[in-house]
Structure 1
Amino acid sequence: MRGACILEAKELATAICAAASDKKARDIVTMDMTQLTPTCDAFVVCSANTATQVRAIADNIEEKLAEAGVSFLHKEGYREGEWILMDYGDVVAHVFRQETREYYALEHLWSDAPLTPYED
């Protein structure tokens, strides 16, 4: 477990998924990274149609987790709104514009990671 966090990794991933879902993120999945990288336990990956929606999803994740006493360690890509990465230590959220998600294909790149689709 990396970083100081009030929530366990699974709870953190679920909270990120729920916050993304609140803003109509599409194709939300959690990727179990525990056997693949020492840097985190999970990726949460989701997508949106526009850069504006990508930013709204990231803003909501940040707001909802802050309400739970959790803040990110690092965030990048916000200005462009194509791919916003939010590092919460044990869980890294990837919020993509749909075309950018297809281009980078994290699910394919990390194809050994078990995927769990989010269902709200």
Structure 2
Amino acid sequence: MTENLLQIAYKALDDKRAEDIVVLNMQNISLLADYFIICHGNSDRQAQAIAREVQEKAQENGFEIKRIEGFDSARWILVDLGDVVVHIFHKDERAFYNLERLWGDAPQLDIPTVE
């Protein structure tokens, strides 16, 4: 079920042309979620469109949105889907927070996109 949610979220990001999508396996590393997905958009509007797409696709497939934070400022939007947490950055903010380095001990996954 979590893997299905991971696929749905990844495809939503890909559909809205999110850039540099990274999936971190957080199992045995963090109690917050099993997976983090990190990406960025090139503008506030794109970051918001990406977040909306993730929310809509998750809900269409019967998954609950726990919470969304940062949507209005669109600098770092967090979409909490429970076992999967999606971090959508504005391009300028991503390098500053550098979550990939912060969670450097988490293995990165390759997610094949399903058409």
Length, aligned pairs only: 113
TM-score, normalised to structure 2, is 0.93
Q: Which amino acid aligns with 1:75?
A: I
Q: Which residue of 2 aligns with 1:23?
A: 16
Alignment of 1:86-101 (within 5 A): 86-101=79-94
Runs of 4+ in structure 1 displaced over 4 angstroms?
none
Q: Secondary structure at the match of 2:53?
A: helix
Q: Distance in 2 between matches of 1:101 and 1:119?
A: 23
Superposed CA deviations along residues 12-62 of structure 1, whole A, max 9, x for unmatched, are 111111001111001111100002112210001111100100000000011
Q: Which residue of 1 aligns with 2:76?
A: 83
Identity of aligned residues (%): 37
Asked if 1:49 corresponds to 2:76, the answer is no
Unmatched 5+ residue regions in structure 1? 1-7
TM-score, normalised to structure 1, is 0.89
Unmatched 5+ residue regions in structure 2? none
